[in-house]
Structure formats: C-alpha cells, structure tokens
Amino acid sequence: MTICTKDKECLLGAVAGGKMHLNDYGRIAMKCWDDLPNHYSHIGSDEFVIMPNHVHGVIVINNVGAGLKPDQIISKKMDTSRAGLKPAPTPKQHGLSEIIRAFKTFSSRRINEIRNTSGIPVWQRNYYEHIIRSAIELNKIREYIINNSLNWKADENYKD
C-alpha cells in the first residue's frame, strides 16, 4: 500500500545522499506503523519505508481459521458443551481499510499535537492498495520499497 501526505507536503523528513532522514513527524509515523500489530493481532508488517511525503508498506493479513477443514469449522461453531449458550467469541478480523484508518488516525493525532494543528489533515483522504499474488511479485515490491530513497528524484511523488 501507499499513503501520501495531504497535498504531498514533504512533512516526514528529507532524502539526502540516497538515504531517508526522518524528522519528528516521520518518527511518529514509524512508531505508529510499528505499533499496528499490537492493535491488530492478525496482521504483520513486511517491508516498509517512509519517504518525505508518502509511505510504502506491505501488510500481511493472516486469516484466522484459514486452512481448517469444513468439519473443524462446523465443530467450532456447534460446541455442544455450550448448548443453550451464545457461541464462543471469535477474534474480530479487521480489513485493510480499518488498519490504514487506524494508522492515519494514530499518527495524525500525535503529529498534530506537536504542530498545534488539531484536526488538520496529515494524510490524503485515500490510499493505493495492491494485492500481492506471488513470491516473484512480493520480491519486486520489496526491492522497490527498499530502493525508494535511492530513486527519490525519479519518484512520481518527488517534490523539490
């Protein structure tokens, strides 16, 4: 996924010598990103980079219950030892949009506290997402993310 700052403002730091140097706002965004798995236990973070005016990341969403055989799923739903009671609670699965919303909200709130700009958007309204369907594609995306600061001046989001 890719998330851009509002109006692609270079808010999160600067690229110098092919390396991204985070400022306080960029460090807040990084901390919020790193903290997401503590709020959503079914996700993991793969490759991630913060650029001056956007972030790129790979989020792994693990499906709880995936891989179970149909009879295992049925037995989980129909626990006869709990007859007459409500079904056992299952962990809530949040989708990508909820995870991105949380990242934007958590980071915006903290950044705006420092800027004294309560309620001012930090991030653009939407985000770009792409489902990765193969190991080859995953490796290409990882390479792109890792090399993003080296290629900053050629990036479509580049602002001088």
What pLDDT digit, counting tens, does each position of 46-55 carry? 999 999 999 9
Domain CATH number, residue 73: 3.30.70.1290
Res 65: pLDDT: 52
Any domain includes 21: yes
Res 62: pLDDT: 86
Q: Is the pLDDT of residue 79 over 70?
A: no
Mean pLDDT for 135-157 is 93
> Taking Cα atoms as reference points, which of 54, 61, 62, 60 lies closest to residue 144?
54
What's the rounded Cα separation, in Å, for the pair 19 and 137? 24
Structurally, the chain folds into a number of domains equal to 1
Any domain includes 160: no
CB of 152 closer than 8 Å to CB of 49: no
The gap from C-alpha 22 to its chain's centroid, in whole angstroms, comes to: 18
pTM for the model: 0.80
Res 59: pLDDT: 94
Amino acid code (one letter) for 73: I
Which residue do the tokens 């290629």 mark? 151
Any domain includes 70: yes
Any domain includes 159: no
pLDDT > 90: what percent of the chain? 69
Any domain includes 34: yes
Mean pLDDT for 31-41 is 94
Any domain includes 94: yes
Range of the domain at 118: 2-154
Any domain includes 57: yes
Q: Is the pLDDT of residue 57 over 50?
A: yes
